[in-house]
Structure 1
Amino acid sequence: MILYKTDAEIELMKQSARLVSKTLTEVAAMLKPGITTMQIDRLCAEFIRDHKAIPSFLNYHGYPFTICASVNDVVVHGFPNNIALKDGDVVSIDFGVILNGWHGDHAYTFLLGETSEDVLQLMRITKESLYKGIEKAVAGNRVGDISYAIQEYTERKHGYGVVRELVGHGLGRSLHEDPQVPNYGKRGNGPRLKENATLAIEPMINMGTKDVYTDDDGWTVRTRDGKPSVHFEHDVCVKKNKALILSDYSIIEKAEQANSNLNTSYYTLKHEAVAV
């Protein structure tokens, strides 16, 4: 059953989502080669608690950390560790917070230093696919319209692997609510979207095969072929004509661009693509 929120509840959810965005902004400012994802986990935990919120992921079904830190071929659910990050790493940070009883939950992928054109392209296409999905998150459409838009752009147009085992989801007082929001599917299929449904839309796109496997830890999901994966996620509220994005990438992007250790050259690729 899809749970619809009041306008007042949407405002509270926006506060939760924006705290995730602010925390990711702190990550964007401190990321550099030599630091570890465990250091990032500690920073996020402290920042969240300093803002009177609770980490959503910590102890969720036994998950032992505040964040998921997925590097290179890790798609999602990577455990933070004490391995130093290095130039060329693809680093996805995903986590949630509970603030005033409501969850925020989104993800952002960063690039450290120099990398290949193939990785830059994967970053651009995955991020753009997120917004193509969001464009379909309007009242009267169906979940399959979001799914189709993401798959069409990433898999059919660019040949990337769209992960099947992991999907987006509803969001609210619970971290995972109905409906599930796959990144693949058919237009016109799935539950019909109504105003004030709240969704976490999150394309998880692999450079190579769509196939994945889970490490012995029971959490870490990797690409079957060892090629990199990229993950972007926004918290979104369904509206009549245009979806309301509750999270805020603009502050993350500003910090990312100000950090000389991070590679944002795919932004230029994006602007060129839009201009065509």
Structure 2
Amino acid sequence: MPGASPCSPADVARPSIYKTPEELRRMIAPGLATLASLDAARAAIRPGVTTLEVNDIADAAIRRLGGVSNFQMVPGYRHTVCASVNDDVVHGIPGSRVIEPGDIVSIDSGADVGGWSGDSAITVVVPDPSRPELVAARQRLSDVTEESMWRGIAQLAVARRLNEVGAAIEDYVESQGDYGILTDYIGHGIGRSMHEDPPVFNYRVRAKGPEVKPGLVVAIEPMITAGGIETFTRDDDWTVATVDGSMASHWEHSVAVHRDGIWVLTAADGGLSRLAPLGITPVPLA
């Protein structure tokens, strides 16, 4: 399928996976522009708003910070975000779909600033007072997905090999109940291109993966369903949905490993508020 974020295991470019300290610093600005776009999108999501309106608001936030959407650099894709609603997992195309109470909405966004990329995703559950149990179940799905991402990031901070990240994600998700981890779509390295080596699995694999050392920058992005993991691509040739109609959630951050620790490039505090309870203190890039 086309190469929107997230990627499949075979869908990455192949420059060096380790950046210099100066190159890491150049990735701060696109990370913050990506963050701004998702903050704006989160604030815009409410009943009656279309996914295209959310897209346009996110695009304006990136441009205010001097960036452009790196999603629009993907051949055949002309939008700033992917907006995936309910049983759509990833790659949903923004359009005329109206957001409704109780929807679970995943927004994936990326910015290019000065030729360097950021990539991040959030999930928002729209309130619906008339269906509290439905909203609670969908919020639980989002919470498990988000926390599994943070568990993966925390593991990155202490890992010797990259594929320890996927094992940490899988262990957490399995401890939380009967959720499904997509295996057809994974995380990736990021730098001058939005998708680079190495692949970042969200589940345990036999290979150890590359060494975790200064200069490694990866996008960690679990995609979790409330049911099965089988998916299909809708007729638009982009949107990936669950075969069984189960709800889905997608969370993602871009994370840099440097000589003094790790820093979440797409979080305002570098990930401190979520990593500190896990025993990790992120360190800003010098």
8 A contact 1:4–1:198 mirrored in 2: yes
Q: Aligned pair in 2 of structure 1 residues 4, 238: CA closer, same or farther (>3 Å)?
A: same
Map Cα deviations across residues 3-26 of structure 1 (whole Å, 9 max, x no partner): 211222212212111111111111
> Which segments of 5 or more consecutive residues in structure 2 lack a partner in the other structure?
1-13, 129-133, 275-286
8 A contact 1:98–1:104 mirrored in 2: yes
Structure 2: distance between partners of 1:98 and 1:152: 33
Q: What is the aligned counterpart of 2:93 among 79, 84, 87?
A: 79
Alpha-carbon offset, residue 176 of structure 1:
0.6
Q: What is the aligned counterpart of 2:123 among 105, 109, 112?
A: 109
- Please say if 1:208 is aligned against 2:213: no
8 A contact 2:151–2:169 mirrored in 1: yes
- Please say if 1:184 is aligned against 2:198: no
- Please say if 1:34 is aligned against 2:48: yes
- Please say if 1:226 is aligned against 2:245: yes
Code of the residue aligned with 1:174 in structure 2: it is S
> Which segments of 5 or more consecutive residues in structure 1 lack a partner in the other structure?
252-266, 268-276
8 A contact 2:224–2:250 mirrored in 1: yes
Structure 1: distance between partners of 2:159 and 2:203: 19
Map Cα deviations across residues 235-266 of structure 1 (whole Å, 9 max, x no partner): 10124674221111669xxxxxxxxxxxxxxx
Structure 2: distance between partners of 1:155 and 1:249: 29
Code of the residue aligned with 1:226 in structure 2: it is G
Q: Per the alignment, in what secondary structure is the counterpart of residue 30 of structure 2?
A: helix
Q: What is the aligned counterpart of 1:245 among 264, 270, 273?
A: 264
Q: What is the aligned counterpart of 1:4 among 18, 22, 38?
A: 18
8 A contact 1:147–1:184 mirrored in 2: yes
| Residues paired across the two proteins, number | 252
Code of the residue aligned with 1:79 in structure 2: it is I
Q: What is the aligned counterpart of 1:133 among 148, 152, 155?
A: 152
TM-score (norm 2): 0.82
Structure 1: distance between partners of 2:190 and 2:32: 14
Structure 1: distance between partners of 2:143 and 2:135: 13
Q: Aligned pair in 2 of structure 1 residues 200, 47: CA closer, same or farther (>3 Å)?
A: same
Q: Aligned Cα RMSD in Å?
A: 2.1
Q: Aligned pair in 2 of structure 1 residues 152, 37: CA closer, same or farther (>3 Å)?
A: same
8 A contact 1:140–1:194 mirrored in 2: no
Structure 2: distance between partners of 1:110 and 1:222: 17
Alpha-carbon offset, residue 121 of structure 1:
1.5
Alpha-carbon offset, residue 62 of structure 1:
1.2
Structure 1: distance between partners of 2:159 and 2:222: 22
2:143 aligned partner: 124
Structure 2: distance between partners of 1:143 and 1:162: 18
TM-score (norm 1): 0.85
